[in-house]
Amino acid sequence: MIPAGVNSPVRAWRAVGGDPRFLVRGRGAFVWDADGNELIDLVCAWGPLIAGHAHPDVVQAVTNAAKRGTGFGAPTPVEIELAEAIVGAFPSIEKVRLVTSGTEATMTAMRIARGATGRSRVIKFNGCYHGHNDSLLVKAGSGAATFGVPDSAGVPGSISELTSVVEYNDLDSLRASLAIDPPPAAVIVEPIAANMGVVLPAPGFLETVLELAHDAGALVIFDEVISGFRVARGGAQELYGVKADLTCLGKIVGGGLPVAAVGGRADLLDLLAPMGPVYQAGTLSGNPIACTAGRETIRLLDATAYQLLERRGAALQEGLEDAIRNAGVDASVQRVGSLLTLFFGVEAVHDFTDAARTDTDAFASFFRAMIERGVNLPPSQYEAWFVSLAHGDAEIERIVAAARSALGA
């Protein structure tokens, strides 16, 4: 009844083999599948559950909100409270429009950029995923400034031709693309790439992206759907001391329920209807239950929380690297805070070309071995692992012990 039995492709385990576990319950750092197996979870709903599964404060607030009504199709106070939390965390965000998914956020950000500049072309970086909207489902061609070709059936070439693809951490390829006609409306980038595995920006990369784009009259969109509220309260922009023109948020801002956001300078957000000519709307945008989950999750993220996430993330990285050395396996770990990836077959990954050289067969074997040892990992070499506040020292030690056994085998 459901294509491939899943409602999002990576859940089908095609990259690792076998049949996916159907999960029925979560609590803290653990999930249980329909057969009763307990697993330490490093997926955390692909990032939103930074406080862990079913945090009692979040559950209680959501329960109370549901008793008042599941939705109204009208403004509610909790929308303002969530917006205030977002604006307070990101100095680059003066106003915010709440939407339902990260895909909708990036689509809206591009529409704002095109409306503000009167231009149509957008530049993205190879290996960065910005949702499944037509304009951004493209892959790189053979040259530094190659126009994109569709990466999905059903995407018209006339749409994908409006997107140019350049290499992440490669400023020369960006310069080349900015120099060609037609001039771009925007450059969109994951400031910390997390959809080819976790790949950090090179020193000065983000600052120069902003400088080059602005010199060309283009806006810069940071896709912080994953990094926002994850690597710091103010996301990658706080971590690296930079400010984007427009920022896309998701995952944690919904606390596990479907909320996302696009924010930025007031003059840009005021282009949105009904104030301006850029149209965007959504029946479920700002749903009170979802906004409540996001608000309560963000309330848990104080300075102490981020110190704890850094300590636990570092402990997991150190344990994995020690296990890799002891097993004599060709692998490496890349991490920012509570976000990390174990790559097989490479010493380091700086861009999608490096990521494409990883040993996906080795990862698939490792994934299956970890599941057998009670650890739930994202079922793809190219995804990030997520540590939550619920992952205590004991859970980190169990994960590392499982990895030692799996790598040794």
Q: Which residues are catalytic?
A: 129, 223, 251
Query: Contact 170/205 with Cβ under 8 angstroms?
Result: no
CA distances from residue 48 to 42, 208, 272, 385 in whole angstroms, order as listed: 11, 30, 27, 12
Q: DSSP strand E in 46-147: where?
A: 95-99, 121-126, 138-139
- Residue 84: count of CB within 10 angstroms of its CB: 12
- Give the separation between CA 327 and CA 406, rounded to whole angstroms: 9
- Give the separation between CA 265 and CA 91, rounded to whole angstroms: 10
* Residues facing 15 on adjacent strands: none
Q: Which of 62, 76, 89 is nearest to 296 (CA)?
A: 62
* Residues facing 107 on adjacent strands: none
- Give the separation between CA 254 and CA 368, rounded to whole angstroms: 30
Q: Which two tokens stand for residue 232?
A: 């710091």
Would you call 396 helix, strand, or coil by DSSP?
A: helix
Amino acid at 46: W
CA distances from residue 330 to 106, 204, 326 in whole angstroms, order as listed: 36, 29, 11
DSSP secondary structure letters along 130-168: --S-GGG-EE--SSTTPBPEESSTT--HHHHTTEEEEET
Q: Which two tokens stand for residue 401?
A: 């012990």
